């Protein structure tokens, strides 16, 4: 299968590696070329994300995976251009949009502000039937608990509750909110298996997860591995005030994710996770927090 990875950033690196591992042909579509892709022998197409250019790029592909960041102004136009390019292609009839999030089906208005973009993308996809699509829901990426040198995902600063330098873990309220966690690599592996599956059996949402735990349980686990960690609590009121103040782009972004983490949109029923595992990839293993840290510790040179 020839698969286009569109908007090549941190998450895309896992997809490239896992697609190659599965024997697929990869076309990287992005605004600029990436030296590491040359080393892997991956074909690259430099694009302006216009419909005309993407139509040319995707003409001979079998599937498209978008890893564009949600929240940027170009998100909706780029997705529309990809969809139209797939519609014009005689072969590219599988599309995975960049809606990597939590429980969009039950909480379509979360995360705040970002959900509007996601919903607009999904509405465009629902309005047609010739291109098969699926919104993949991994919840929070668990990769942020491993050393930065062992992940492609860039550190999020205050948008992630773990402060590595000060060894402080922030609880949202009392930290009792349930959250689904999945590794980025396991997300890529599952998505690729979905592409390989009969597209007529796809569903609107795919739920994948390596673990479901509360923020407090995650913090306690991190503390068990490094007793120097302490806790602090941040109330919902504090986060709302931060969101309203919009003092900086980072502060505003952190507040959006904190509000999301205070609520229910970051969890989804484990029964859905199990059903999708059985249907699409019964042989895949999804790593939990302990397995991720153990694997990282066993080989410090490895990106887990």
Give per-residue pLDDT as tens, 3-45: 999 999 999 999 999 999 999 999 999 999 999 999 999 999 9
Where do the H-state alpha helices sit in 92-171? 114-126
**How large is the average pLDDT for residues 112-116?**
94
How much is the pLDDT for 71?
86
pLDDT in tens, 59-81: 999 999 999 998 888 999 999 99
Q: Let me know: does 105 contact 204? Beta carbons within 8 Å.
A: yes
Over the chain, what is the mean pLDDT?
97
Q: Could you report the per-residue pLDDT of 240-288, keeping only the tens digit for each?
A: 999 999 999 999 999 999 999 999 999 999 999 999 999 999 999 999 9
Query: Which tokens belong to 145?
Result: 């608990």
Most distant CA pair in the chain: distance in Å? Answer: 57
Sorted by where each starts, the structural domains of the chain and their CATH numbers stand as 2-296 (3.40.50.720)
In this predicted structure, what is the pLDDT of residue 73?
Answer: 87
> How far is residue 237's CA from residue 188's CA, in Å, rounded to a whole number?
36
Which DSSP state fits 274?
H
């Amino acid at each position: 299968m020839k698969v286009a990875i569109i908007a090549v950033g941190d998450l895309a690196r896992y997809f490239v590696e896992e697609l190659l591992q599965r024997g697929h042909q990869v076309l990287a579509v992005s605004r600029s070329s990436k030296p590491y892709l040359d080393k892997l022998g991956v074909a690259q197409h430099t694009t302006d994300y216009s419909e005309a250019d993407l139509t040319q790029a995707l003409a001979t592909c079998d599937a498209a995976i978008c890893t564009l960041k949600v929240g940027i102004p170009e998100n909706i136009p780029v997705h529309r251009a990809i969809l139209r390019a797939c519609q014009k292609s005689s072969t590219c009839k599988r599309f995975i949009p960049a809606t990597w999030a939590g429980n969009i089906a039950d909480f379509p208005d979360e995360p705040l502000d970002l959900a509007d973009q996601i919903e607009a993308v999904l509405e465009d996809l629902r309005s047609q039937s010739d291109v098969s699509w699926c919104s993949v829901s991994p919840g929070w990426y668990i990769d942020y608990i491993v050393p930065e040198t062992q992940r492609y995902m860039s550190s999020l600063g205050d948008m992630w509750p773990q402060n590595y330098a000060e060894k402080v873990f922030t609880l949202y309220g009392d930290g009792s909110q349930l959250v689904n966690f999945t590794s980025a690599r396991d997300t890529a592996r599952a998505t690729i298996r979905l592409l390989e599956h009969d597209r007529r059996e796809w569903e609107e949402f795919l739920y994948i997860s390596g673990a479901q735990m509360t923020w407090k349980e995650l913090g306690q686990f991190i503390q068990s591995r490094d007793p120097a960690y302490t806790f602090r609590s941040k109330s919902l009121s504090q986060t709302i005030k931060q969101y309203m103040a919009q003092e900086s782009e980072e502060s505003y972004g952190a507040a959006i994710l904190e509000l999301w983490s205070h609520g229910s949109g970051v969890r989804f029923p484990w029964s859905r996770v199990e059903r999708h595992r059985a249907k699409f990839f019964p042989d895949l293993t999804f790593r939990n927090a302990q397995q991720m840290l153990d694997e990282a510790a066993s080989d410090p040179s490895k990106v887990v």
